[in-house]
Chains A and B, each alone.
Chain A
Amino acid sequence: MKRNLTYLLVCLFLFTSGISFAQHAVTGVVFDAGSNTTLPGVNVVEKGTTNGTITDVDGNFNISVSNENATLQFSFIGFVAQEVQLEGKSSIEVQLQQDVFGIEEVVAIGYGTQKKSDLTGSISVVETDEMAKTATNDVSKALQGKVAGVSIQSSGDPGAAPKVKIRGITSFTNNDPLYVIDGVFAPANDIPTENIESIQVLKDASAAAIYGSRAANGVIIITTKRGTKGEMNVSYSGYYGFQEITERMDVLDREQYQTLVNESTNNAKAYPEYSELYIFPANDPSSPYYVDNVNTNWQDELFKTGHINNQTISVSGGNEISNFSMSLNYFDQTGTVQGNGPNYTRYGIMVNSDHKLGKLKVGESIHYTYANSDLMSFLHDGTMLGYTASAIPTLPVYDETKMNGYSSASADLHGAYSANVIGMNNLIESNTKRYRLIGNVYGEYEIIKGLKYKLSLSYERTDWRDYHFEPLYDLGWFAGFSNTIAKMDDNRGYGYTGTIENTLSYNTTIDKLTVNALVGQSALNTFMSRSFGHAEGFSEPYFKQLSNGEDRTSSGDEFQSRLASYFGRVILGYDDKYLLTATIRRDGSSRFSPQNKWGNFPSVAVAWKAHQEDFLASSEFISQLKVRASYGVLGNQNIGDYRYQGYINPYASYVLNGNAVAGAAQFIPASTDIKWEQSKTTNIGLDFGLLENRILFTTEYYIKRVDDLLGTIPTPTHLGWYDWESPVRNALSVKNQGFEFNATYRKAEGEFKYSVNANFSTLKNEVLSLGEGINPIDGNWSRTDVGTEVGELYGYVVEKVFQSKAEVEALDANAPDGLYQENLTDAGDFMFKDLNNDNEITEDDRTHIGSALPNFYYGFNFNAEYKNFDITVSAQGAAGNKVVNAIGNGLRAGAGLENMSTDLMDRWRPGNTDTGRPRIIRDDPNRNTRASDFWLEDGDYLRFSNIELGYTLPASALDFLNLSSVRLYGSIQNAITITKYSGYDPEFNNDGLFSRGTDNGAAANKAFTDFSGGLPTPRTILFGVKVGF
């Protein structure tokens, strides 16, 4: 099998191999110096030639070299490379030291690579082995808890793209880092984790400066696997898992619900304004329609076990001239809720190869994926989870007498909105298909020694189709819960980004000075074209094509933007002790007006490798000490296309006498004077290695200040536009500062090896100024102001619960217009604090009530190996933030006819007055549920994101199976979450900005934006195998 495949692929790629004439045969064996076990797969190359081989399963190699005194180079990932001079020997034994610090690791730094030990800026390298253990479609999810200073929020929706933020929020338009995949600017979520060779996170301005105008949010460089010289590798990896949402909101059962909802109504009925309220028949024991035989737990009905399935086959290999790497990936994830979605299926293919022809090197990376997602469907404002939790227990899920067999709440009997969410997700179809090509082709030519010219062409193209069908249904009486016209949407489009990059690099060493210089130029063109088709009036049986709708409408548009750039970088090293990196990039963007098109983004960084100095070189204790400092300026231009001009909307037609009369006017303002946003980062770092680098830690402190922040600052609406259409302005100044700490300890004692890694980061965010004439910006329960954080929570302060009407009246007597709070404020209602001492509660009594931003994030990773067993435990968490649990608060409001939280069993009522909770009353006339400190929850959590146990088959078994390696493993992901937070998931998705403290269950990744809700991260139990053939 192994042989056949090899021959096949060799033929396929038509490799030719240049074999040199060898005279001296050498055999040997390579050991891991730590464990004293043999190492298979080590690269062995005769120095100064392209002649080489790799060690076999038992660590043996044989090679013919040109002369008896040749030097052999041994290299293997994770080990310090070694050179051995033969000195006539024909049999050698080599001990390779584990490179615990990865000090010799080569790191991608953008348009080049650098030894990790020579870095001057802040670049985190993610251990891909660890990362690959996370079961996800998106590699960014796997970064969670692995990199200090990187926060990741994700929903549990299959196919979801997590929100990644590097060093906090510094932009109001877009906080996504720039992803560079094999040199291509493309989203990361379609690249299977198995294909990834390395991930570098460029955090400070110096590191990211080479990407200039788009790097203000940091850069994530993803390099996929390439073939290495030697025998062909064929490997398979796969896992299958079960996923389940374990969290539940504790809601009332049928009897409790009826009691409380009636109490809430009766409390209101006591006032004349509400005298017409009545107990709905379904809840009225004296009514013939009283419901006593149904007790639906909607959450249990909705949630189900989902599946996750990932299969990858990879083939790689190479010789002196060419190398290749190919993989096929299948990823399938079904959702954890009943109905048509969410489901996500992806097929991916990768082909990478490099070829050398004298001084010319050419190669390519091709990734092609097809992803098919069924989306969760819910057709109303608010979220599916919220509506599920609050659905009334007096209604069954299924009802054969109703349309489509699903029950429907009645306005007359139940009164509650209560959408039949399960019916909706079963009847409505929402599907999105994406076809994405990420490709790069390059040619590199060495003009003279050390001087290389490279031309790189990159192309990312995505084609999509979004499909949505709504049949006729009756799933509730309220607006949007029933549908009387069957309709569909069929939206298609494509977009591409093409980049041409020319770079010229020069490396040389002059005495003790090493020089690494780069100049380059790039041109980027982005284009998108969309068309939207809508049809309605389908009749049964449904043939779900636009043509079959009675009324059809279509629309479409196109967008384009361009970026022209020139950049240069010089990296100087002196005596391997002093390092300097200076970078400049000049970018021109089509998104700005002619006078503001160009921006310059310079940076400089220095480092001192103190351990190379004489006074430390001999230290047994300190093996590494490096001090780094950097400063740089980066930009942001994420504002959408064509914004600097004003436009006429031609769709404002009116109708006269049955005919459309063309209407046109300017509806949104131009953002005329906008220019580049500038972020300036100062970074200081210290890298420490102790005891032969067994203990390593890196600490960094940064201050990142962003000025002229581009943002749509909501303006008052009297000028004719809605506030979200406000002009983009260079307005705010924001500062983020933080401390990052990463420590690793590794130890190997005989067959027991382990490593512990912990990382920790703090983040302090402060708005320095709002800009000329701009007022505090309100989000959901938040207000952003000078001196506050972005999205700092804002509201009233609850003083106490009134125990009698007399207490209310006493306050009213002192109030300027005779009313302290609200008209119907009464015993059992909240008394809000009169913060401005004017004896009445107005909106001026609101204040900042909490931070939506954790004080710190942390991660913890433990790996151990003993004999053939290995274990991994990963955990991460955050602390110090407050959360608005929108779904939970809705259940605790007690003001409507929906179901409620069991917490309300402890509501204020005569006989239970000693409680912090207010009374329940229909319509909440005192507005007890308004934004106040009472409703905030602590967001602290610690989550064990992965606990994995693996077993590697011993050599004897492998020989028997004729395989080169087999590892079996099982893991529990998201096993335990320790938190006091009562929502579904403390890692809830949010807008990351003005409303980032609000958990309303909304998902980021949905094609029909308003139509679906997010799911919490499920618990996953999975089993997997990795096989090397």
Chain B
Amino acid sequence: MKLKYIFLAFLTLFMASCNEEWLELSNPNLQTTETFWQSEADVKAGVSATYMGLLYDGTWLRFVPFALSLKGDDIQSFSPWRVLSLTGKFNLDEDPIMAQWPWTAFYGVINRANQVLENIDNVEFANQATYDQYKGEALFLRGLSNYYLVSFFRNIPLVMNTYQSEEDLYPEQVSPEVAWAAVIDDFKAAADLLPTTYPESDLGRATKGAALAFVGKSYLMNHDYENASNYLKQVIDLGVYNLVPDYADNFTTSNENNSESIFEIQLDRNVGGTVLGWVSQPAADWSKTSAHAITFAPTGYGFGDAAATRWIFDEYMAEKTVDGEVDPRATISMSYDTTACTMYGTPFREAFDASRWDDVYIRKYTNAFSTEVANEFDWRSDINERVMRYAEVLMMYAECQYELGNAGVAGQYIQMVRDRSDLADISADIASMGREEFYNQLSHDKVLEFAFEGIRFEDIVRWGWLYNADRLQELKDHDSEFSGFIEGREYFPIPPAERDKNPNYTQNPGWGI
């Protein structure tokens, strides 16, 4: 009978062990939200996580440069990956990730910014400047995300808080005016809080100049030239920006965060791991690099998913420098059959067989200039992405001044950019140009300065060229992909999967998906 008692003792023991506490398990892997947002360091980390949202597949790891640039007339894509080749044809097919990934990724940045903004006031800061900086950075990054969302999609839901209740899951879109107002408010608030410069260890953080430049650009996009001019002038008057003498310094790993760079996304091969980490939750081994280079580098060195149009090549060749040379930007923007264009250390004619000597490839933001990198096939380029350059501020300011009736000032500012490339001084000519002539000149100077940088299509839309039969024909002549243009498709569709999940969304005009 002794055994019986032993068993009964066991029974009691095990029964007793199964109390409520036994069922309380805490996650050994991660900190809970309840214990976070307690210190300055937590807020700082929150701000970093917000910046890190710029390194997603839907942002600058891959899709933003393509979503911005592929629709331009300077670029065309025959990629067998239709996500890329159809973008410039104003078609998104059945795989609309060109719209979906930026949508999700930018809202991810907004969510992180909102976390910072909702929690920052609960934390004690040792000094006000730190508080201002972090809050300003979060506001800037939210403004930047909404800037791209409204530019890409036009009719977007405005998400200014984190998930609180199920109601937040199914918002309605706001009008473009409301969205733009929110963008401008965030950038303005950021400009008031952010410092003008940072110590070297913090280079790459959002500055007052970056916020002001985007306020200006946002106004310009809405044809509010007066306000645009005002804010762009404030950037110029900060006195901290200059055009770098070597145009190439804007597109390579050397001389990053230079005096021309107003906002630049920071990439580094030597930090983090090697896993690309396209989407979802970041892991410790995610790389801090982009797939921009492998996508645009010509086949043999990358995927060759896009190439320069013949028109942009001709445009570069059309105007020679004062010394009769080819525009120095040509061999920095494009790889073509010239001795100046070595391909990863190999002369162009050795890099490609004769059948490809007539081709013109994209060189900007690839590592073709490098003699240390053999090709782009590890996917990991760490050329910082220059999101806003001082040259663009000058050009935008020129456009505003022209619209405000100061063609002479416009000419001076356009000429500042031309001067770097040793092009003839035409400021006096510009001062007397009529509207169409001026915009032809501005188009010429901007496209040569910013080819493949994702600015061209914004200009085309803003200048109304898509809605003018003659201009549209010109675009089709530059790039046959424009034959696919249907009015409304200058904006992306609301991603079909988002509409499927939220019936409150209305599809953008021109799209049947």
Chain A residues with a Cβ under 8 A of chain B: 271-277, 360, 411-412, 415-417, 443, 445, 447, 453, 455, 477-479, 482-485, 500, 502, 521, 523, 534, 536, 551, 553-555, 557-562, 564, 588-590, 594, 597, 641-642, 645-670, 714-725, 772-773, 775-776, 778, 783, 817, 819, 821-824, 840-843, 896-897, 923-925, 927, 929-931
**Does B22 contact A523, Cβ atoms closer than 8 Å?**
yes
Q: Mark B28-47, 1 if CB is under 8 A from A, else 0.
A: 11111110100001101111
Partner of A665, one of B85, B112, B270, B355: B112
> Shortest CB–CB separation between residue A903 and chain B, in angstroms?
21
A477 to B305, CA, bound (A): 12
Q: Mark B447-491, 1 if CB is under 8 A from A, else 0.
A: 000000000000000000000000000001000110110100000
**Does A656 contact B266, Cβ atoms closer than 8 Å?**
yes
**Does B30 contact A653, Cβ atoms closer than 8 Å?**
no
CB closest residue in chain A, given B48:
A663
Partner of B170, one of A416, A594, A773: A773
CB closest residue in chain A, given B54:
A654
Which residues from A are CB-within-8-Å of B170? 716, 773, 775
Task: For chain B, residues 105 to 150, give those with C-beta under 8 angstroms from any C-beta of chain A.
Answer: 107-108, 110-112, 114-116
Which residues from B are CB-within-8-Å of A715? 169, 501
B23 at interface by CB-CB < 8 Å: yes
B182 at interface by CB-CB < 8 Å: no
**Does B7 contact A455, Cβ atoms closer than 8 Å?**
yes
CB-defined A-B contacts under 8 Å, sample of 13: A445-B3, A455-B11, A477-B299, A479-B303, A561-B25, A588-B18, A646-B33, A650-B31, A652-B112, A661-B48, A714-B497, A716-B171, A823-B484
Which residues from B are CB-within-8-Å of A897? 80
A412 to B78, CA, bound (A): 12
Which residues from B are CB-within-8-Å of A272? 476, 480, 483
Partner of A502, one of B11, B108, B283: B11
> Shortest CB–CB separation between residue B502 and chain A, in angstroms?
4
**Does A415 contact B80, Cβ atoms closer than 8 Å?**
yes
Rank and list the top 5 A-B pairs by shortest CB-CB distance, nearest first: A720-B111, A663-B48, A652-B49, A646-B33, A665-B49
**Does A534 contact B115, Cβ atoms closer than 8 Å?**
no
Q: Interface segment, B196-204, B217-225, B416-424?
A: B196-204
Partner of B496, one of A662, A720, A843: A843
**Does A651 contact B283, Cβ atoms closer than 8 Å?**
yes
Partner of B107, one of A555, A588, A589, A719: A719
Which residues from A are CB-within-8-Å of B347? none
CB closest residue in chain A, given B30:
A647
> Shortest CB–CB separation between residue A171 and chain B, in angstroms?
21
Given contacts A276-B76, A534-B275, A655-B268, contact A641 B45 (CB under 8 A): no
Taking each of B4, B26, B44, B267, which has the highest tally of chain A beta carbons within 10 Å of its own beta carbon?
B4
**Does A662 contact B159, Cβ atoms closer than 8 Å?**
no
> Shortest CB–CB separation between residue A438 and chain B, in angstroms?
21
Given contacts A275-B480, A589-B23, A661-B48, contact A645 B356 (CB under 8 A): no
**Does A656 contact B201, Cβ atoms closer than 8 Å?**
yes
A716 to B4, CA, bound (A): 60
B318 at interface by CB-CB < 8 Å: no
Which residues from B are CB-within-8-Å of A447? 4
**Does A716 contact B501, Cβ atoms closer than 8 Å?**
yes
**Does B498 contact A716, Cβ atoms closer than 8 Å?**
yes
Given contacts A651-B283, A655-B271, A667-B281, contact A775 B503 (CB under 8 A): yes
B241 at interface by CB-CB < 8 Å: no
**Does B204 contact A656, Cβ atoms closer than 8 Å?**
yes
CB closest residue in chain A, given B305:
A479
**Does B52 contact A654, Cβ atoms closer than 8 Å?**
yes
Partner of B36, one of A661, A664, A724: A664
A721 to B280, CA, bound (A): 7
Which residues from B are CB-within-8-Å of A665? 45-46, 49-50, 112, 115-116
A273 to B201, CA, bound (A): 48
> Shortest CB–CB separation between residue A786 and chain B, in angstroms?
13
Which residues from A are CB-within-8-Å of B7? 443, 445, 453, 455
Which residues from B are CB-within-8-Å of A821? 512
Which residues from A are CB-within-8-Å of B268? 655, 658
CB closest residue in chain A, given B495:
A717
Task: For chain B, residues 45 to 97, give those with C-beta under 8 angstroms from any C-beta of chain A.
Answer: 45-53, 55, 76, 78, 80-82, 85-86, 89, 91, 93-94
Which residues from B are CB-within-8-Å of A724? 280
> Shortest CB–CB separation between residue A30 and chain B, in angstroms?
39
B103 at interface by CB-CB < 8 Å: yes
A284 to B235, CA, bound (A): 57
Q: Mark B1-35, 1 if CB is under 8 A from A, else 0.
A: 00110011011001101101011111111111110
Q: Interface segment, B160-168, B319-327, B400-408, B429-437?
A: B160-168
**Does B169 contact A719, Cβ atoms closer than 8 Å?**
yes
**Does A555 contact B31, Cβ atoms closer than 8 Å?**
no
> Shortest CB–CB separation between residue B511 and chain A, in angstroms?
8
**Does A663 contact B52, Cβ atoms closer than 8 Å?**
yes
A721 to B93, CA, bound (A): 24
Partner of A666, one of B14, B33, B53: B33
Which residues from B are CB-within-8-Å of A717? 103-104, 107, 498
**Does B22 contact A564, Cβ atoms closer than 8 Å?**
yes
Which residues from B are CB-within-8-Å of A714? 497, 501
Partner of A652, one of B20, B44, B48: B48
**Does B14 contact A500, Cβ atoms closer than 8 Å?**
yes
> Shortest CB–CB separation between residue A550 and chain B, in angstroms?
10
Which residues from B are CB-within-8-Å of A650? 30-31, 45
CB closest residue in chain B, given A485:
B378
Which residues from B are CB-within-8-Å of A523? 14, 17-18, 22
B314 at interface by CB-CB < 8 Å: no
**Does A823 contact B23, Cβ atoms closer than 8 Å?**
no
**Does B282 contact A649, Cβ atoms closer than 8 Å?**
yes
Which residues from B are CB-within-8-Å of A776? 500
**Does B33 contact A843, Cβ atoms closer than 8 Å?**
no
**Does A653 contact B272, Cβ atoms closer than 8 Å?**
yes
A657 to B171, CA, bound (A): 39
**Does B52 contact A720, Cβ atoms closer than 8 Å?**
no
B209 at interface by CB-CB < 8 Å: no
Partner of B80, one of A417, A588, A721: A417
**Does A662 contact B23, Cβ atoms closer than 8 Å?**
no
Q: Interface segment, B187-195, B284-292, B336-344, B390-398?
A: B284-292
Taking each of A274, A483, A714, which has the highest tally of chain B beta carbons within 10 Å of its own beta carbon?
A274
Which residues from A are CB-within-8-Å of B104? 717, 722
A415 to B9, CA, bound (A): 76
Which residues from A are CB-within-8-Å of B29? 557-559, 642, 647
Partner of A648, one of B36, B44, B288: B36
**Does B45 contact A720, Cβ atoms closer than 8 Å?**
no
> Shortest CB–CB separation between residue B14 and chain A, in angstroms?
5
Which residues from B are CB-within-8-Å of A652? 45, 48-49, 52-53, 112, 282
> Shortest CB–CB separation between residue B455 and chain A, in angstroms?
23
Task: For chain B, residues 260 to 306, give those with C-beta under 8 angstroms from any C-beta of chain A.
Answer: 266-268, 270-275, 279-286, 288, 299, 303-304
With A277-B78, A455-B7, A783-B500 known, 18 other A-B pairs at CB within 8 A are: A273-B483, A273-B484, A276-B78, A411-B304, A453-B7, A484-B375, A555-B284, A589-B23, A648-B33, A657-B200, A658-B268, A659-B271, A664-B49, A666-B33, A667-B282, A719-B159, A720-B163, A778-B497
CB closest residue in chain B, given A523:
B18
Which residues from B are CB-within-8-Å of A502? 10-11, 14-15
Which residues from A are CB-within-8-Å of B216? none
**Does A656 contact B205, Cβ atoms closer than 8 Å?**
yes
**Does B159 contact A647, Cβ atoms closer than 8 Å?**
no
**Does B111 contact A560, Cβ atoms closer than 8 Å?**
no
A757 to B24, CA, bound (A): 50
B510 at interface by CB-CB < 8 Å: yes
Which residues from A are CB-within-8-Å of B355? 412
**Does B497 contact A723, Cβ atoms closer than 8 Å?**
yes
**Does B163 contact A719, Cβ atoms closer than 8 Å?**
yes
Given contacts A276-B78, A649-B282, A665-B50, contact A562 B23 (CB under 8 A): yes
